[in-house]
Amino acid sequence: MLNQPLSKKRKNFELLMKSLMILSVGLTGALVLFLMIYVLWQGLPNITWELLSTKPSYLTERIGILPDILNTVYIVLATLILVLPLGVGAAIYLTEYASNKKVVGMIEYAAETLSGIPSIIYGLVGMLLFSNSMGTCLMAGALTLVIMNLPTIMRTTQESLKTVPQSYREGAFGLGAGKWRVVRTVVLPGCVDGVITGCILAVGRILGESAALLFTAGFAHAVNGLIDGLAAPGATLTVALYVYAKEQGEFGVAFAIAAILMVLTVLINFAATSVQKYFAKRRNV
């Protein structure tokens, strides 16, 4: 009886589901391939040294994205510097200090809520909170992004803190170390991998962000130093892409930026998985 043939109905179900699954996987894969190839094919030929190294000039009708590249770097730096202590601190509080379950639940619920809020709302609130007081500038954008990326850094740090063996902490306490000393010498070194992963994810999110920056950081294209740059309005690469494509119809430049962003996205994904793999391996040894 074991090899009794399947009834027609069951056979049809098998066939239908199998073909639907393969169709879906094929579609998803093809989509990724198409997007990659199309954007690179349209964008790479437009990337020239002149584009990368100059600022836009109306006189010579030349478009350069150097200011946008610099602005992106500044905003990434400013956001990370501000969000790291906050996120790591919050994670340490949750895993090491917090004893009240209600407080923990509240903080975690707040973090989940933050990660669900769409970026356009961050943009609006950032505009009200920061841009109205300090003016439209990169710093206002960075502060908005700090709130946005807080949950990411918190989560990755928390996850890596959970992998620090409890016995390490007990050992340190047993030797007479105070709580702060244990946190500083045992716990903090253990969360390096989470912090690095969090940073990579945050950089990816900042690079891709546009709606939250449009009204907080503005869209100027001036070349500035780091400090002046943060105090002045400026477009990041994504915002510049939007402005060039939607408002100015400069699709060549837009695709060049899109290709750069695409390559960066691939690199960031690769870095994130490599870091995770590296630390997972080291932990198992």
Partner 1 sequence: MKKNQMLEKIIHGIFLLLGLITVGCVLLITVYLVISGIPAIREIGLIKFLFGKEWASTAAEPAYGILPFILTSIYGTAGAIAIGVPIGFMTAVYLSKMASPKVKEIMQSAVSLLAGIPSVVYGLVGMLVLVPGIRKVFHVPDGASLLAAIIVLAIMILPSIIKMSVTALDAVPKEYEDASLALGATPIETYFKVSVPAAKSGIAAAVVLGVGRAIGEAMAVMMVAGNVPNMPDSLFQSVRFLTTAVSSEMSYSSGLQRQALFSIALVLFLFIMLINATLNFFLKREKE
Residues of span 201-240 touching partner 1 by CB under 8 A = 204, 207-211, 214-215, 238
Q: How far is CA 91 from CA 82, 84, 98, in A?
A: 15, 10, 10
Tally helices (H) and strands (E) across the chain: 15, 0
Of 178 and 228, the one with the shorter C-beta distance to partner 1 is: 178
Of 225 and 246, the one with the shorter C-beta distance to partner 1 is: 246
Of 64 and 158, the one with the shorter C-beta distance to partner 1 is: 158
User: Which tokens go with 79?
Assistant: 């956001």
Determine if 105 is a binding residue for partner 1 (CB under 8 A). Answer: no
Determine if 119 is a binding residue for partner 1 (CB under 8 A). Answer: yes
- Options 120, 226, 227, 280; binder of partner 1; rule CB under 8 A: 120
- 156-195 residues in contact with partner 1 (CB under 8 A) are 178-180, 183
- Options 114, 220, 222, 275; binder of partner 1; rule CB under 8 A: 114
- 41-60 residues in contact with partner 1 (CB under 8 A) are none
Residues contacting residue 80 through CB under 8 Å, at least 6 positions apart: 199, 202, 203
Distance CA 39, CA 44 (A): 8
Q: How far is the CB of 196 from partner 1 (least distance, A)?
A: 17
Confirm if 214 and 145 have CB atoms less than 8 A apart.
no
Distance CA 135, CA 12 (A): 64
User: Which tokens go with 240?
Assistant: 């510049």
List the beta bridge partners of residue 75.
Answer: none
Of 137 and 214, the one with the shorter C-beta distance to partner 1 is: 214
Determine if 273 is a binding residue for partner 1 (CB under 8 A). Answer: yes
List the beta bridge partners of residue 57.
Answer: 62
Determine if 40 is a binding residue for partner 1 (CB under 8 A). Answer: no
Of 35 and 280, the one with the shorter C-beta distance to partner 1 is: 35
Of 52-60, 67-75, 81-89, 186-194, the segment contacting partner 1 by CB under 8 A is 81-89
Of 94 and 227, the one with the shorter C-beta distance to partner 1 is: 94
- 241-270 residues in contact with partner 1 (CB under 8 A) are 241-242, 245-246, 251, 254-255, 258, 261-262, 265-266, 268-269
Distance of CA 255 to the CA centre of its chain: 21
Tokens 């902490």 correspond to 169
Q: How far is the CB of 232 from partner 1 (least distance, A)?
A: 18
Buried b (16+ CB within 10 A) or exposed e, 167-187: eebeebeeeebeeeebbeebb
- Spatial CA neighbour of 263 closest among 18, 28, 17, 44: 44
Determine if 18 is a binding residue for partner 1 (CB under 8 A). Answer: yes
- 128-147 residues in contact with partner 1 (CB under 8 A) are 128-129, 147
Distance CA 216, CA 212 (A): 7
Site string (85-104) toward partner 1, x via CB under 8 A = xx--xx-xxx-xxx----x-
- The 3-state DSSP class for residue 57 equals strand
